[in-house]
Amino acid sequence: MGLAGRRVLITSGPTREPLDPVRYLTNASSGKMGAALASAALARGASVVVVAGPGAPVPRRARAVPVTTALEMYRRTLAESRRADVVIAAAAVGDWRFAKISSRKIKRSSRGLSIRLVANPDIVKAVARRRRGRPAVVVGFALESHDWLSYAREKLVRKRLDLVVANKTAVLDSDRTRIALVSASGEKVLPAMTKAAAARAIFARIEGLLP
Ligand code: C5P
């Protein structure tokens, strides 16, 4: 029970940005990695909060904080993480939201439509760069199609993370994954494995980083 008495917060799943009452922008994240991490943390004795985007599964013994948009995920994660020892950002946070949300359904027209998108805040960066009440270990993911280790190292420094889990693309919605663990002490590329096995490997490393 290596995490007995520890509080772990995990962001998981996609986010969803409304355009009008019936249309939205989202992504293909299934939340399977977040759920596997939550189960692994529970098995190690932690109390677990999952800030879960639409459709992201949450294990029964974890506390679910359901959210829809990236801004909601940002606010709830910052508030809930004040008491956390470990924060793991496994959510696929949408990079943009619509500048204006229409309260009425936008009418179809044959002329096309230009819509402005604005950037969403970086949630894990805001948690990791907090001066007071920063969790002891903050972990991010880096999903890349190429140069995965160099992007992971760049994220480790720019977002002030303690650990980056680098992921090859084409793992969204799959039960298997290929990860590398990148921290200040170096990097380790692991063989392809189930998301459950990857979650156990990630927590084995996190336990070594906890004071
Ligand atoms: O910068 P990039 O989106 O590639 O970083 C991915 C990591 O940052 C993931 O851990 C993801 O959960 C987190 N992230 C976040 N808030 C964002 C964008 C990404 O927490 N707005």
Q: Which domains does the chain have, with CATH numbers?
A: 7-101+115-209 (3.40.50.10300)
Which ligand 1 atom minimizes the distance to the CA of 151?
4
Pocket lining for ligand 1, CB < 6 angstroms: 11, 70, 89, 91, 93, 120-124, 140-142, 155
Q: Which of 2, 18, 27, 98 is catalytic?
A: 27
| pLDDT tens track for 4-41 | 999 999 999 999 999 999 999 999 999 999 999 999 99
pLDDT at residue number 172:
59
Tell me the pTM.
0.96
CA of 159 to the centre of ligand 1 (A): 9
201: Cβ contacts below 8 Å, ≥ 6 apart = 179, 181, 190, 193
Of 124, 138, 179, 202, which is best to mutate to test ligand 1, by the most ligand atoms within 8 angstroms of its C-beta? 124
* 167 labelled catalytic: no
Interior/surface letters 109-125, b for 16+ CB within 10 angstroms, e for the rest:
eeeeeeeeeeebebbbb
Question: Rounded distance, CA 129 to CA 159, Å?
Answer: 7
pLDDT tens digit sequence for 87-123 = 999 999 999 999 999 999 999 988 999 999 999 999 9
